[in-house]
A and B are shown apart, each in its own frame.
Chain A
Amino acid sequence: MHEVHVVCAHGRVETGELSMSEAALSPNAPVAPRLGEDGLAVIVGIGVLILALVSLYGPDLLGWAVTTSVWADPTKALGAVSKAYAGLGGAGALVTTYLALLVVLSAGAAALGAEVRKFAVAFTVVFIIAYASWFVGSWAYIATVTPADQAKFGVSWSLRLTNEGGYIVALIVGLVIANAFPRFADWLKDAIRPELYIKIAIVLLGAFIAVTAAGKLTLASSLLLRGVAAIVEAYLIYWSVVYFIARKWFGFSREWAAPLASGVSICGVAAAIATGGAIRARPQVPVLVSSLVVIFAVVEVLILPFLAQTFLSSQPLVAAAWIGLAVKTDGAAVAAGGITESLVLAKAAAEGINYQPGWLIAVTTTVKVFIDIFIGVWAFILAYIWTNHINVKAGGEKAKASEIWERFPKFVLGFIVTFAAGLALALGGAGPKLAAAVGEANTFRVIFFILTFFSIGVLTDFRKLWREGFGKLAAVYLVSLFGFVIWVGLIISWLFFAGVKPPLVG
Chain B
Amino acid sequence: MSDQELRNELKAPVEPLLPIEKKLIGWSLGIGVALLVLLVIINHFLPVA
Contacts and interface: CB of A to CB of B under 8 A. Distances in A.
A32 interface: no
A473 interface: yes
A236 to B, nearest CB: 3
A-B complex: 4 closest residue pairs judged by Cβ atoms:
A236-B32, A240-B28, A469-B6, A218-B49
Interface of B: 1-3, 6-7, 9-10, 12, 14-15, 17-18, 20-21, 24-26, 28-29, 31-33, 35-36, 39-40, 42-43, 46-49
A252 B14 CA distance: 7
A247 B15 CA distance: 8
A225 B43 CA distance: 9
A240 B49 contact: no
Nearest to B36: A232
A225 B38 CA distance: 13
Contact of A472 (B10, B39, B43): B10
Contacts of B14: 251
Contacts, number: 94
Interface residues of A, number: 45
A233 B36 contact: yes
Contacts of B40: 495-496
A2 to B, nearest CB: 12
Given A254-B15, A468-B6, A468-B7, A222 B1 contact: no
Given A232-B36, A247-B21, A251-B14, A468 B49 contact: no
Given A232-B35, A232-B39, A496-B43, A226 B48 contact: yes
A214 to B, nearest CB: 15
Contact of A236 (B1, B2, B6, B28): B28
A18 interface: yes
Given A232-B36, A237-B36, A284-B1, A219 B48 contact: yes
A232 B43 CA distance: 15
A276 to B, nearest CB: 13
Contacts of B26: 240
Interface in A210-249: 218-219, 222-223, 225-226, 228-229, 232-233, 235-237, 239-241, 243-244, 247-248
11 contacts: A228-B39, A236-B29, A243-B21, A244-B25, A248-B17, A253-B9, A254-B15, A390-B21, A467-B3, A469-B6, A470-B6
Nearest to A22: B1
